[in-house]
Structure 1
Amino acid sequence: MGAPLSAWPWENLGIYKYLLYGPLAAKVVYSLIREESVNGSWCFHILLICVLRGLVYQLWSSYSNMLFLTRNRRINQQGVDFKQIDKEWDWDNFILLQALIASMVCSIFLPFHDIPVWNTEGLLLLPLLHVTISEPLFYWVHRCLHGNYFFTRYHSLHHSSPVLHPFTAGSATLLEQLILTLVLGIPIIGSSLMGYGSTSLVYGYILVFDFLRCLGHCNVEIVPHEIFEKLPFLRYLIYTPTYHSLHHIERGTNFCLFMPLFDAMGKTLNSNSWQLHKKVSSDSAKSGRVPDFVFLAHVVDITSGMHAQFVFRSFASLPFVTRIFFLLMWPGTFVVMLMMWAWSKTFLVSFYVLRGWLHQTWVVPRFGFHYFLPFATEGINKQIEEAILRADRLGVKVISLAALNKNEALNGGGTLFVNKHPDLKVRVVHGNTLTAAVILNDIPKDVKEVFLTGATSKLGRAIALYLCRRRVRVLMLTLSTERFQNILEEAPVDCQNYLVQVTKYQAAQNCKTWIVGKWITPREQSWAPTGTHFHQFVVPPILQCRRDCTYGALAAMRLPKDVEGLGTCEYTMERGVVHACHAGGVIHLLEGWSHHEVGAIDVDRIDVVWEAALKHGLKPVSSVN
């Protein structure tokens, strides 16, 4: 059992905790019906303030996760991992707590209809109350919370987050947030009891308070050091993200709320505060650490474009599924898509560290349907080429192309870029060799016959040639006799009879192992016999419309346990799981291979790549319990 006031009373309610806002919302609806207006209802103002507070934290979260803007300004370069995200999942508990307390206080002392919208005297009094009461009170209580007894039972939760983030500001125990509520409420209640309260004072103070809390926890230094050099006294009036980050590193220093003046008076000012701030601020103009590996991804559709950390961190940490709230956000996302077209630059969306190697994901600002527009081919290839050349200039070792970025019809699986730039130092990798290995090793060893769609694609060709060497009969669905003959000629002479060209789905009505490399409709699936298992390497995955059959997931591998800073799920993949083509690029880097992996798959290397993946701790998802 935890210490008193360490747990939240609604922590077992999950998402249903938001029903506690119900009475406030009901009061607003009642006021609207009875009074035909909600402007005079203090419940309305409380709910509106809660929405605005949540928006402040969300906007700061989005900014701090926009790595394409903030990567050179980050104080702690480590990424926020799944463990921290889960720990901070209910970061907004304090907003609900303060809303409930405010509703009780307002119903007794401060009905909003008795408070003017503006009061100049109150706006002058409030900063005075903050500096003379709230700041020293927080400083004193904060130091007490760092005593052994209180820190272990209450404050250690807040310090357990290794990377500061705006949501870290709200991650605390009930006792801490009650104290913070007192610190926040004293200037508001004090000025109101003195007759100087106003609606603008309440809104302004609370939102500025939250803004500064987020500033200190954002892990991105945005305050230029030149301002402190020109106006030295300002460094004692406002803290910086660097200043507060030192408190989480050296816990016996920098206890202030927002004003370092109180640390100076209490002799708890970290001596490195200004020097570190100057260093971080100065280094922001320089290039950051160069990644060893880059995965060049793309957005699948408009809704999946919202599955990024800088949109909703919590949502990005879960496998992608379509949510109802997407309908409300769709128009805004469509506008962003148009802006991305106009900007047309690749941008960084995530990173993680594996055995000291820095891995980054860059995104080409093109949605999935763009790749099937003939007039867009040149523009897409130009952006991919620019990303490869940029990686080459930076000193990236390996760049791996996501599914549609290596489309055969688009650029020949990356061959276009390698042939055009023969002196590339960065290795271009399509990762399909490992994709083929994952699919092939998922097929039971006792299977004697398979049905293969997309049979003449890069993956289809490699899978067919590999299986025929294993003496597995492959029914290759293709209308092109010429392409089938080309593949047949690549097979060993004694294995060629295992490759069979078929032109209709009816040919597979007795085959229970389907390998789907081309999207098939429910009608086409109906030819599969009961008990069929659909392996697939098609994007997007086929519809699971047969209850009497089973469906495999897209080829993917689970990253090893020593990955650090991973806090985003890759599309529909589980946590810690990436598409096989992504993992193929990782293996290319870890093995130090010097060749490009573009164009046709080398069938002889399938087992080599597979063994290398297992050696480095990657596991196929199907074999993970």
Structure 2
Amino acid sequence: MGAPLSTWPWENFGVFKYVLYGPFAGKVMYDMLYEKEKDFKFSWCLCLLILCGLRGFLYVLWSSYSNMFFLTRNRQILKQGVDFKQVDKEWDWDNFLILQAIVSYMAYYMFPFLQNLPLWNMKGVIAALIFHVGISEPLYYLVHRKFHGNYLFTNYHSLHHSSPVPQSFTAGNGTVLEHLFLSLVIGIPILGASFIGYGSISLIYGYILIFDFLRCLGHCNVEIVPYRIFKTFPFIRYLIYTPTYHSLHHTEMDSNFCLFMPLFDALGNTVNTKSWELHESLSKGNCSRVPDFVFLAHIVDVTSSMHVQFGLRSFASLPFTTRFFLIPLFPIPVISLLAMWLWSKTFLLSFYYLKDRLHQTWVVPRCGFQYFLPFATEGINNHIEKAILTADKIGVKVISLAALNKNESLNGGGKLFVDKYPNLRVRVVHGNTLTAAVILDEIPKDAKEVFLTGATSKLGRAIALYLCRNKVKVLMLTLSTDRFKKIQKEAPQQYQSYLVQVTKYQAAQHCKTWIVGKWITPREQNWAPRGTHFHQFVVPPIFGFRRDCTYGDLAAMRLPEDVEGLGCCEYTMDRGVVHACHAGGVVHSLEGWTHHEVGAIDVDRIDVVWKAALKHGLTPVSSGSTAKPNII
């Protein structure tokens, strides 16, 4: 049993907690239908609903800004990133909005002077400011220090401080007791100004939204307040806090207790001595760290482009699926994509730390369908080339190319850039060696025959050569005899007979192991016998049409447990899981290999890369791992 007022009454409601707004909406509907003579636009319930919506949107906007790493990376205060634990812990950050809506509704009927307020009263602004500075600020300072006592901190305030990286949602993440007290702090200036006859609807909206804005500012983890202001006008540093100032309270917890005005910390002798020096350093914007590894991703489609941390953080922390709430938001990513195309920049999407090395995901502002347009090839390659040259310039060690960014027809698996710039210091990696190893690991040990589509692609060739060396018969579906013979000649003489060219799907009607590297229709899947398992490395994945067969996922690996700061899912992958080509770049970086991995896959390195991945704690998602792929 927890301490009183330490848990929310609707803690277990999930999304159904929003039903608690129902009575307010019902009252608004009632007024609309039956109180026509009433001046409806000043309905208190309607004001509360609009205010809650605006407040929630404000917190979301601040969260979006904080996670726009392409804008904020040079001014990030704490560098470790928001992980899944923090996202889950702050999932119900908006509980306080429901609480304060209920409290506000009760206050409206408890205090008659809140009724029939005018729309605007300038005197109310001055009065609210006096009440805020004279009562709310010192009251918050004193009580906040009490919350850092043993009992109150352990039972109430520790939840707020359990988030390692302050975000706007951290500001709302607290216990019932904390937010009841905060409701009082917010209410004093509004009630005070209204009691003396200077209250207004504008004052309620304005004060509460400014209050939330400043709370989000302090928790945003991005220093945006210029130090020059404090240098020119030193007294201002005591009138308004900065994100740096408040972040020191979260990291050290024995100083900087003020609400918004450090003046009260100065009066209480609780100003952190590092506050001004650290603020000056961060506000110069030279605090970014050069990543060791970059994964150059691309947008799959417009809808999936919303699956980013600077969109909806909670949505990005789950595997991507198309949801109904994305439909009305559709114009936003369309406009954003157009802006990105015009700006022609590669954007930093996310980052995490592994083995104390910084790994970042950059994105090329091009949608998946564009990669299949012949006239777009040059433009896409120009974007990829700029990203590689930027990475080389700033000192990145390894850059790995996502699926379509290394398309053979686009740039030969990255070979185009390595040939064009032979003196690159950054290593360009397509990651397909590990992708091949993951696919091979999924194939049953006792398999004697497999059917392979996309057989002459980079991955298809490597898989076929690896399997034939292990005396597995490979039915290679291809109409090009020249390509088939070229691959067959690469196999040792004694194993060449294990590679068999087929030109029709009918040839695989008795084979239960299909490896799909080229899109196949439901009609073509019908040639597979009952019980077939479809392994696949085709993008996008094939539809699971056959109920009497099983379908594998795209090749992927789970990152080690010691990964830090990872708070978003990679497209449809589970938490902590990345595509095998991404993992291949990670391994390349961790091993410190100095060669480029571009062009054709070196079959002899499949086992080497596989062992290295397992050594560093990466694990295949769909099967158990051994020292080598299961096929051996």
- TM-score, structure 1 length as denominator? 0.98
Find out whether 1:117 has 2:116 as its counterpart. Answer: no
Tell me which residue corresponds to 2:248.
246
AA aligned opposite 2:190: I
**Partners in 1 of 2:596 and 2:254 — Cα distance?**
52
How do 1:70-109 residues align onto structure 2 when only pairs under 5 Å count?
Answer: 70-109=72-111
**Partners in 2 of 1:33 and 1:302 — Cα distance?**
41
How do 1:143-182 residues align onto structure 2 when only pairs under 5 Å count?
Answer: 143-182=145-184
Find out whether 1:501 has 2:498 as its counterpart. Answer: no
Asked if the contact 1:514/1:534 (under 8 Å) is kept, the reply is yes
| Aligned-residue offset at 1:109 | 3.1
Asked if the contact 2:238/2:261 (under 8 Å) is kept, the reply is yes
**Partners in 2 of 1:332 and 1:317 — Cα distance?**
20
| Aligned-residue offset at 1:624 | 6.2
Find out whether 1:369 has 2:369 as its counterpart. Answer: yes
Tell me which residue corresponds to 2:531.
531
Asked if the contact 2:431/2:582 (under 8 Å) is kept, the reply is yes
Q: 1:321 to 1:624 in 2, by over 3 A?
A: farther
Asked if the contact 1:350/1:360 (under 8 Å) is kept, the reply is yes
Tell me which residue corresponds to 1:400.
400
Asked if the contact 2:398/2:428 (under 8 Å) is kept, the reply is yes
**Partners in 2 of 1:166 and 1:287 — Cα distance?**
21
**Partners in 1 of 2:335 and 2:374 — Cα distance?**
23
AA aligned opposite 1:457: S
How do 1:219-368 residues align onto structure 2 when only pairs under 5 Å count?
Answer: 219-282=221-284, 284=285, 286=286, 288-368=288-368
Cα-to-partner distance string for 1:241-265 (whole Å, 9 max, x where unaligned): 0000111122111110000011111
| Equivalent pairs, count | 623
| Aligned-residue offset at 1:39 | 1.2
Tell me which residue corresponds to 1:417.
417
| Higher alpha-carbon deviation: 478-487 or 400-409 | 478-487
| Aligned-residue offset at 1:237 | 0.5
How do 1:28-67 residues align onto structure 2 when only pairs under 5 Å count?
Answer: 28-35=28-35, 38-67=40-69
Cα-to-partner distance string for 1:285-322 (whole Å, 9 max, x where unaligned): x3621111000000100011000000011111111111
| Aligned-residue offset at 1:579 | 0.5
SS in 1 for 2:352: strand
| Aligned-residue offset at 1:102 | 1.2
Q: 1:269 to 1:388 in 2, by over 3 A?
A: same
Cα-to-partner distance string for 1:129-149 (whole Å, 9 max, x where unaligned): 111111111111100000111
Asked if the contact 2:230/2:237 (under 8 Å) is kept, the reply is yes
How do 1:531-610 residues align onto structure 2 when only pairs under 5 Å count?
Answer: 531-610=531-610
| Aligned-residue offset at 1:545 | 1.8
**Partners in 2 of 1:528 and 1:97 — Cα distance?**
58
**Partners in 2 of 1:273 and 1:425 — Cα distance?**
39
**Partners in 2 of 1:537 and 1:187 — Cα distance?**
62
**Partners in 1 of 2:193 and 2:220 — Cα distance?**
30
| Aligned-residue offset at 1:58 | 0.4
| Aligned-residue offset at 1:32 | 2.0
| Aligned-residue offset at 1:225 | 0.5
**Partners in 2 of 1:197 and 1:89 — Cα distance?**
35
AA aligned opposite 2:493: V
Q: 1:155 to 1:113 in 2, by over 3 A?
A: closer
| Aligned-residue offset at 1:112 | 7.1
| Aligned-residue offset at 1:193 | 2.0
SS in 2 for 1:396: coil
| Aligned-residue offset at 1:31 | 1.9
Tell me which residue corresponds to 2:188.
186
Asked if the contact 2:75/2:287 (under 8 Å) is kept, the reply is no
| Higher alpha-carbon deviation: 25-34 or 377-386 | 25-34
| Higher alpha-carbon deviation: 137-146 or 336-345 | 336-345
AA aligned opposite 1:157: L
**Partners in 1 of 2:33 and 2:545 — Cα distance?**
48
**Partners in 2 of 1:143 and 1:216 — Cα distance?**
17
AA aligned opposite 2:130: L
AA aligned opposite 1:379: G
Q: 1:191 to 1:624 in 2, by over 3 A?
A: farther
Cα-to-partner distance string for 1:348-383 (whole Å, 9 max, x where unaligned): 011111112111111000010110011100000001
Tell me which residue corresponds to 1:129.
131
Moved over 6 A (4+): none
| Aligned-residue offset at 1:270 | 1.3
Q: 1:131 to 1:434 in 2, by over 3 A?
A: same
Q: 1:55 to 1:110 in 2, by over 3 A?
A: farther
Question: Over aligned residues, Cα RMSD in angstroms?
Answer: 1.3
| Aligned-residue offset at 1:111 | 8.6
AA aligned opposite 1:523: R
**Partners in 1 of 2:505 and 2:42 — Cα distance?**
69
SS in 1 for 2:74: coil
| Aligned-residue offset at 1:33 | 2.2
| Aligned-residue offset at 1:210 | 0.2
- TM-score, structure 2 length as denominator? 0.97
Asked if the contact 1:40/1:112 (under 8 Å) is kept, the reply is no
SS in 2 for 1:400: strand
Q: 1:557 to 1:193 in 2, by over 3 A?
A: same
Q: 1:46 to 1:565 in 2, by over 3 A?
A: same
Tell me which residue corresponds to 1:382.
382
| Aligned-residue offset at 1:108 | 4.0
Asked if the contact 1:67/1:348 (under 8 Å) is kept, the reply is yes
| Aligned-residue offset at 1:526 | 1.7
**Partners in 1 of 2:112 and 2:194 — Cα distance?**
8
Asked if the contact 1:473/1:498 (under 8 Å) is kept, the reply is yes
| Aligned-residue offset at 1:488 | 1.1
**Partners in 2 of 1:189 and 1:171 — Cα distance?**
25
Asked if the contact 2:352/2:564 (under 8 Å) is kept, the reply is yes
Asked if the contact 1:428/1:596 (under 8 Å) is kept, the reply is yes
Cα-to-partner distance string for 1:194-234 (whole Å, 9 max, x where unaligned): 22111100000000000000000000000001000111111
SS in 2 for 1:337: helix
Cα-to-partner distance string for 1:36-95 (whole Å, 9 max, x where unaligned): 574121111100000100111000000000000000101111111111111111001101
AA aligned opposite 2:124: G
Tell me which residue corresponds to 1:521.
521
Give me the identity figure in percent: 72
AA aligned opposite 2:231: E
AA aligned opposite 2:86: Q
| Aligned-residue offset at 1:35 | 4.0
| Aligned-residue offset at 1:29 | 1.7
Find out whether 1:27 has 2:10 as its counterpart. Answer: no
Asked if the contact 1:40/1:113 (under 8 Å) is kept, the reply is no
SS in 1 for 2:290: coil
**Partners in 1 of 2:42 and 2:119 — Cα distance?**
11
**Partners in 1 of 2:541 and 2:114 — Cα distance?**
55
| Aligned-residue offset at 1:480 | 1.3
Ranges in structure 2 where 5+ consecutive residues have no aligned partner: 626-632
Asked if the contact 1:42/1:111 (under 8 Å) is kept, the reply is no
Asked if the contact 1:164/1:217 (under 8 Å) is kept, the reply is yes
SS in 1 for 2:194: helix
AA aligned opposite 2:523: R
Q: 1:500 to 1:74 in 2, by over 3 A?
A: same
**Partners in 2 of 1:491 and 1:276 — Cα distance?**
62
Tell me which residue corresponds to 1:431.
431
AA aligned opposite 2:267: M
AA aligned opposite 1:327: I
SS in 2 for 1:77: coil
Determine which of 205, 210, 213 is the counterpart of 1:211: 213
